[in-house]
Structure 1
Amino acid sequence: MTIVFVNGVPVTSAVWMPLINELSKSQQRETVLLSPPGFGAPLPSNFGATFVDYRDWLIDELSRFEAPVDIVGHDFGGGYALEVAMARPDLLRSWVSDTIGGYEPDFTWHETAKLWQTPGDGERHVEEIFSGDVEERAARMVDWGIPEPAACEVALGQGPQMGKAILALYRSVPQAVLIERGLDLPAAAARPGLVPVATEDHTAGSVALRHRAAQRAGARAVDLNGLGHWWMLQEPTQTARMLSDFWNSL
């Protein structure tokens, strides 16, 4: 049984490495890192980089495996994982997503997301955060809460293509689209799900909202007290244990 990790924005698969190193102590299974186009993988010129495009990309990637996988998604990667659970549960044994709060009708986008969704302002912001050399970009990622050495590894994969993908992606999911997609959330219960609830992640909706969404998806919610958006980097040992406990219970 393969474990598949899918990263989100504005990073690459480098954010998973400390967690994967810990998991190797308890899970002797194949691990695959799937980087979405523009986020650690090339962005094809004909790829629209909308939310639906990324969902379809992930379905296509998972269709190549010989058996259903255990998928772990972070940030937008968690959204793509949920979409697969709702649309193609036959591709999964289980799913893990920390962004399930976005499927609740009272979820609101964080301020940076609103900035990226705004024409002009979004372009200026991505140009600013992806400008400079690797050291300068890594320093910005440290300011965003990503510790070294992951910040430097992420910075190596950042640039204009990632900025272009971010703008297209965020602009494809305004509030009304999120509300519509959330109507199908109960379908994710077709496969066992786990929702890591990092209590200090202020981009993913309130703790109560995420618990409510997990319940609608038939998933188990686990509070990660004191951890933020980059929970897998902050406490890789603790979060590896959380994942192992979940998979061992299936």
Structure 2
Amino acid sequence: MTVVFVHGVPETPTIWNDVRERIGQPSMALRLPGFGSPRPAGLRDKETYAAWLADELRAVDGPVDIVGHDWGGHLAMRVVSAYDVPVRSWVSDVAHGWHPDYQWHEAATLWQRSPEGEESLAGLRKSPTGGGYTFGDVLQPRGMSPQLAKEVDDIHDEEMSAAILALYRSAWPNFHAAWGRDFDRPVTARGLILTPAGDPGAQPARDRDMAARLRTQLTELDGLTHYWMLQDPERGADALRHFWASLPD
């Protein structure tokens, strides 16, 4: 069984390194196109990114366990509910975004508008002369490590900004509106919803509601932030191992 990790926005596969070292299973971490790699012209919205992920999973030998963070979690949920993929289980730490009453956070609503979104992301790109705020500056208080912050800032170019805008602008008003109905039918892959309760953006009540709706397990990570896998990778890996151990062979 191979574990496939998927990062979010604005991140890279490096975010999973510490957890991958601790899970004791073969694993790989995918890089979303446009985040330090070329983005094919066809990847223009959330659905085409989900189709890309489905193709990546089909290329892995045997059933996989997929773990998604942030946008990686949204794409993982879409794939297991709407695509024919060899997935045994899925994990997401953003299931509240699929709740019927979910409303996007302030940054997302800014990026969903034009030209405000373009102007905002241009302002977050690292200037050769210094000055201004970058993604790293904004996200380190939420738990992003200095090392990952530097990596993100180094790769944040116009292509990455365009990828971010494409994803967020295709996800209005929320994921339930476009994708939620596909979870109304049975999903064979078993699910785990993680709730990093120390994240200011956490919504434990909606996560619990989604766990009941989707008949999944739920684990609350008390005191951990949006970047739980960096803050306490051993605890994160333990939650994943416990979930996988509960699955039928």
TM value normalised by structure 2: 0.90
Deviates more, 1:58-67 or 1:70-79: 58-67
1:141 deviation in Å?
3.8
Could you say what secondary structure the match of 1:41 adopts? coil
The answer to whether the aligner puts 1:67 opposite 2:62 as a matched pair is yes
Gaps of 5+ in 1: none
Q: Equivalent residue for 1:34?
A: 30
Distance, in Å, in 1 between the alignment partners of 2:142 and 2:162 is 20
Task: Report matched runs for 1:186-205 at 5 Å.
Answer: 186-187=184-185, 189-203=187-201
- After the TM superposition, which residues 69-218 of structure 1 pair with which residues of structure 2 at under 5 Å, given as runs? 69-88=64-83, 90-133=85-128, 137=134, 138-175=136-173, 178-187=176-185, 189-203=187-201, 206-218=203-215
Cross-structure match for 1:221 = 218
Report the CA distance shift for 1:140/1:102 in structure 2 as closer, same or farther (over 3 A): closer
Deviations 1:80-105 (A, max 9, x none): 10011102364201100111111111
Whole-Å separation in 2 of the counterparts to 1:112 and 1:19: 28
Select between 12-21 and 107-116 the one with higher mean Cα deviation.
Answer: 12-21
Relative distance call for 1:147 and 1:231 in structure 2 (3 A) is same
- Measure the CA separation in 2 of the matches of 1:188 and 1:113: 30
Figure out how many residues of one structure are paired with residues of the other and give that number. Answer: 244
Q: Match of 1:13, as an amino acid?
A: P
Check 1:228–1:109 CA distance in 2 against 1; reply closer, same or farther (3 A cut): same
Range moving further from structure 2, 176-185 or 209-218: 176-185
The counterpart of 2:229, out of the listed 229, 232, 238, is 232
Aligned partners of 1:74, 1:134: CA distance in 2, in Å? 32
Q: What is the deviation of 1:22?
A: 2.4
Residues 122/188 of structure 1: CA separation in 2 closer, same or farther (3 Å cut):
farther
Q: Which residue of 1 aligns with 2:22?
A: 22
Structure 2 residue runs of 5 or longer lacking an equivalent are none
The Cα of 1:188 is off from its aligned counterpart by 6.3
Shift of 1:143: 4.2
Moved more, 140-149 or 213-222: 140-149
| Superposed displacement of residue 245, structure 1 | 0.8
Q: 1:79 to 1:196 in 2, by over 3 A?
A: same
Are 1:201 and 1:227, in contact at CA under 8 Å, matched by a contact in 2?
Answer: yes
CA distance in 2, matches of 1:79, 1:188: 18
CA distance change for structure 1 residues 15 and 220 in 2, over 3 Å: closer, same or farther? same
Asked whether the equivalents of residues 232 and 239 of structure 1 are also in contact (C-alpha less than 8 Å), the reply is yes
Identity %: 37
Contact 1:134 1:152 (C-alpha < 8 Å) held by counterparts? no
Q: How much does 1:186 deviate? A: 3.8
Give the match for residue 45 of structure 2: 50
- What's the TM-score once normalised by structure 1's chain length? 0.90
Q: Which residue, 242, 245, 248 being the options, matches 1:248? A: 245
Q: Give distance in 2, aligned partners of 1:248 and 1:97.
A: 17
Distance 1:134 1:80 in 2: 36
The answer on whether the counterparts of 2:142 and 2:227 sit within 8 Å (CA) in structure 1 is no
SS at match of 2:220: strand
What is the Cα deviation at residue 63 of structure 1? 1.0
